[in-house]
């Protein structure tokens, strides 16, 4: 089995649905950080069968938990300091998400209006439905 | 400052005030003839819509105000590539209130967020057309005397019709409203609407033939069934007559049932129905002017 070492300070994002780690890597813009990032794919998991894990060695204030909550609020966020887990941050579905997803409705004003932020608003917490703030098009979360 | 983007922007209590004002306008037109003197309405129509634009213009002129604007995107700066947010900033310097029709959904909302004058959504693509819904509600309230405790049949294209969807959302806020959805299988009301009705415990049924439900209706809201919405010619030919309202079907209805239609009507209501006292679709147009007058006064905060 492959072993990836501990990190000293940063986060471990655990219980990522297998295959989703790269998408999360891009949405969190980890490619723009000048720090060590380990992407572990298809790790064995008792709970999930297999899962992805992201280890990010960076300042703990760099992570946008809203984006992560939006993508998958079942991910476990472990905060690491001095090589130990010091906190687990709960993820919730954010009320609003800005410039993470583009509205795909060709009739939406966002398709022509320049500089307009793409905003999705949580319209049904129970069913986890987001809708475009402008045209109310339902977001298909499978496309994330 | 308030705008109107969706018919649900106003609470039922606020709508009551709006409709009371519209009712007073109906019976005391001269009282309001100078209410908007010195005020200007910008009718910014990025796509043609003669009836809605003329209704807004008529409303402002009845109030003694003036009207400016454009009636298609080619005669505006949009054809030069100007954004909606820039256009409304400019229009805000020329007028006191703006009615905007735009083919892109959400455009009036973008305008409202950059505007220093009230913006009314006069229709944005297939999304919202709130003043049509306000017109429908005022017509029902004025002619039925109430906005509660009735059975309304919605007939025709219930899948794509935005006026129908908006009206359902607006009516579920009133107690005792029961819905009968009358449409071919292909054009049934979307699932998210029936789910919403189930969650709210609102009574509804779905039927295919108009005749079946006629005797139970207090109101019938007709819409057009377009041939191109059908999957094949055979189904269209088989079903189209189910959705054409004529004298025979009217004979099955209650003596005080009302027929509404957002217009334009093509052939879904036979002209022989026009002379029936229960045909309310042309009165509905008149109520559209009254409700737009009330809306302009309310958004401009003008008391008469």
The average pLDDT across B168-195 equals: 94
pLDDT in tens, B128-171: 999 999 999 999 999 999 999 999 999 998 988 889 999 999 99
HSE of A27 in the Cβ direction (CA atoms, 13 Å)?
A: 23
Instruction: Please say if the pLDDT value at position A11 is more than 80.
Output: yes
* Residue B76 scores a pLDDT above 80: no
Chain A hits for B190, CB-CB cut-off 8 Å, are none
How much is the pLDDT for B234? 82
B113 or B225, which is more confident? B113
Confidence at B98, pLDDT banded by 50, 70, 90? very high
- Point out the residues of B that are catalytic: 51-52, 80, 101, 129
Q: Tell me, yes or no, if B125 comes closer than 8 A to chain A by beta carbon.
A: yes
In a 10 Å sphere around its CB, with 0-12 CB exposed, 13-18 middle and 19+ buried, how is residue B278 labelled?
middle
Q: State whether residue A28 sits within 8 Å of chain B by CB.
A: no
The partner residue sitting opposite B110, judged by closest CB among A107, A113, A137, is A113
Would you say residue B105 has pLDDT above 80? yes
Residue B278, φ and ψ in degrees, nearest 5? -85, -10
Q: Which residues of B touch A115 (CB under 8 A)?
A: 83
pLDDT digits (tens, 9 = 90+) for A103-137: 999 999 999 998 899 999 999 888 889 999 999 99
Closest among B34, B46, B33 to B76, alpha carbons compared: B46
Interface probe with A: pick from B5, B6, B104, most Cβ of A within 10 Å:
B104
Per-residue pLDDT of A57-74, as tens digits, reads 988 788 888 888 988 888
The pLDDT, as a whole number, for residue B298 is: 98
Measured between alpha carbons, how far is B304 from B217 in angstroms, rounded to an integer?
Answer: 38
| CB contact at 8 A, B4 and B131 | yes
Interface touch A133/B109, C-beta < 8 Å:
yes
∠ CA B239-B240-B246, rounded to 5°: 120
Instruction: Taking the CA atoms of B226, B232, B233 and B238 in sequence, report the sign of the dihedral they define.
Output: negative
Is there a contact between A114 and B83 if contact means CB atoms under 8 Å apart? Answer: yes
CA distance B107 to chain A (A): 5
Alpha-carbon torsion, ordered B124, B128, B132, B135, to 10 deg: -140
pLDDT per residue as tens digits for the range B225-267: 777 666 678 877 777 777 899 999 999 999 999 999 999 888 8
- DSSP letter for each residue of chain A: -------SSEEEEEEEETT-HHHHHHHTTGGGS-S-EEEEEEEEETTTEEEEEEEE-S-TTS--HHHHHHH-TT-EEEEEETTEEEEEE-----SEEESSS----TTBGGGT-TT---EEEEEETTTTEEEETTT-PBP-GGG-
Residue of B nearest to A129 (CA): B192
Q: Which pLDDT does position A126 carry in this prediction?
A: 86
pTM: 0.89
Interface test with B, best of A131, A133, A135 (most B CBs within 10 A): A135
Cα–Cα distance, B84 to B86 (Å, whole number): 5
> Which residue, chain included where needed, has tokens 């583009």?
A102
Q: Do B85 and A134 touch (CB under 8 A)?
A: no
3-state secondary structure of B128: strand
| Whole-number pLDDT of residue B72 | 82
């Amino acid at each position: 089995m492959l072993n990836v070492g501990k990190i000293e300070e940063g986060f471990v994002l655990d219980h990522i649905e297998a295959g989703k780690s790269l998408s999360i890597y891009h949405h969190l813009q980890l490619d723009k950080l000048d720090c060590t990032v380990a992407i572990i794919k298809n790790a064995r998991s008792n709970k999930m069968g297999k899962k992805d894990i992201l280890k990010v060695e960076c300042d703990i204030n760099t992570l946008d938990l809203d984006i992560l909550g939006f993508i998958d609020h079942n991910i476990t966020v472990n905060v690491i300091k001095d090589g130990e887990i010091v906190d687990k941050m709960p993820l919730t579905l954010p009320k609003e998400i800005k410039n993470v997803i583009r509205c795909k409705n060709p009739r939406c004003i966002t398709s022509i209006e320049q500089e307009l932020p793409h905003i999705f608003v949580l319209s049904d917490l129970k069913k986890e439905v987001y809708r475009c703030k402008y045209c109310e098009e339902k977001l298909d979360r499978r496309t994330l | 400052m308030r705008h109107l983007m969706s018919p649900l922007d106003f609470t039922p209590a606020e709508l009551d005030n709006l409709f009371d004002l519209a009712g007073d306008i109906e019976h005391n037109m001269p009282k309001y003839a100078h209410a908007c003197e010195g005020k200007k309405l910008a009718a910014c129509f990025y796509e043609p819509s003669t009836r809605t634009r003329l209704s807004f213009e008529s409303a402002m002129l009845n109030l003694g105000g003036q009207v400016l604007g454009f009636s298609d995107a080619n005669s505006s700066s949009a054809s030069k590539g100007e954004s909606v947010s820039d256009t409304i900033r400019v229009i805000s310097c020329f007028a006191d209130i703006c009615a905007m029709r735009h083919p892109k959904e959400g455009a009036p909302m973008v305008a409202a967020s950059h505007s220093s004058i009230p913006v009314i959504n006069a229709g944005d693509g297939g999304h919202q057309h709130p003043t049509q819904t306000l017109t429908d509600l005022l017509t029902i309230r004025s002619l039925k005397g109430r906005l509660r405790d009735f059975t309304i049949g919605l007939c025709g294209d219930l899948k794509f019709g935005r006026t129908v969807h908006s009206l359902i959302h607006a009516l579920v806020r009133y107690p005792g409203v029961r819905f009968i959805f009358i449409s071919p299988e292909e054009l049934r009301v979307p699932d998210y609407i029936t789910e919403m009705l189930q969650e709210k415990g609102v009574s509804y049924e779905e039927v295919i033939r108009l005749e079946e439900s006629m005797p139970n209706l207090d109101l019938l809201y007709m819409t057009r069934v377009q041939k191109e919405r059908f999957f094949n010619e055979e189904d269209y030919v088989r079903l189209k007559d189910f959705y054409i309202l004529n004298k025979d079907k009217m004979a099955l209805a209650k003596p005080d049932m009302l027929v509404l239609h957002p217009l334009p009507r093509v052939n879904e209501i036979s002209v022989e129905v026009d002379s029936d006292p229960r045909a309310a679709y042309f009165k509905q147009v008149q109520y559209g002017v009254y409700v737009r007058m009330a809306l302009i006064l309310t958004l401009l905060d003008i008391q008469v």
